[in-house]
Amino acid sequence: MSNDLDESLRAALRPVDPGEDLTRKVLAAVEQDSSRPPRGPLPPPGHPGWRWPSAVLAIALLVGLATAYHWQLRRQERGLEARRQLIEALQVTSEKLDLAYRVVNEQEHTENGS
């Protein structure tokens, strides 16, 4: 029974012919597939196959540079603003310390004078 089934399967699963149409379609597709030659893993420099990857790489590089430039600009703006605020804060602090010292001084002079 096992051998019978094996033979029946072989008979049932005999390969079928797709016809000449498939060969024609395959050869047309191969001809259209000009981005890769039949040999070699990568196209040579200057080959049209490099156009798209090169364009994508160039755009990615430009976007990256623009983002880095923008980030650097933002950081500089924030840094300069922080520096301005720091100096202003130190000015205010000094003014108030000075005011306190002047008042103490005035009071001492007044007490000494009276």
Partner 1 sequence: MSQPSDTSEELLSRALAGEAPAFGELVRAQQRSVYSLALRMLGNRQKAEDLAQEVFLQLHRNLAAIESAAHLGFWLRRVTANRAIDRLRREPRAQMLPLEAADGVADEAEGADPLLMRQLRVLVGELPPTPRAVVLLRYQEDLDPTDIARALSMSIHTVKSHLKRSLAALRKGIDAAAQDEVGSST
Partner 2 sequence: MSARGHLAMLVPTLVLAARLACAEPPGQLLLPNFDSLTGKSIQSVNITLDSTLLGLAASFLDSSKPDDAATMQVVSGLRGIYVRSYTFNKDFPYPTADVETVRRQLVPPAWQRLVQVHSKEQANVDIYISVDHGRANGLAIISSEPRQFTIVNIVGSIDLKKLHQLEGKFGVPKLQLPDGQ
* Residues near partner 1, by CB under 8 A: 1-2, 5-6, 8-18, 20, 22-23, 25-27, 29-31, 33, 36-41
- For partner 2, the binding residues (CB under 8 A) are 75-76, 78-80, 82-83, 85-107
Q: How far is CA 1 from CA 4, 5, 19, in A?
A: 5, 6, 35
At closest approach, how far in Å is the CB of 82 from partner 2? 4
Alpha carbon distance 71, 77 (integer Å): 10
Q: How far is CA 54 from CA 32, 33, 41, 79, in A?
A: 21, 19, 17, 37
At closest approach, how far in Å is the CB of 54 from partner 1? 20
3-state secondary structure of 49: helix
Q: Choose the one of partner 2, partner 1, none that binds residue 33, judging by a C-beta under 5 to 8 angstroms depending on kind.
A: partner 1
At closest approach, how far in Å is the CB of 41 from partner 1? 8
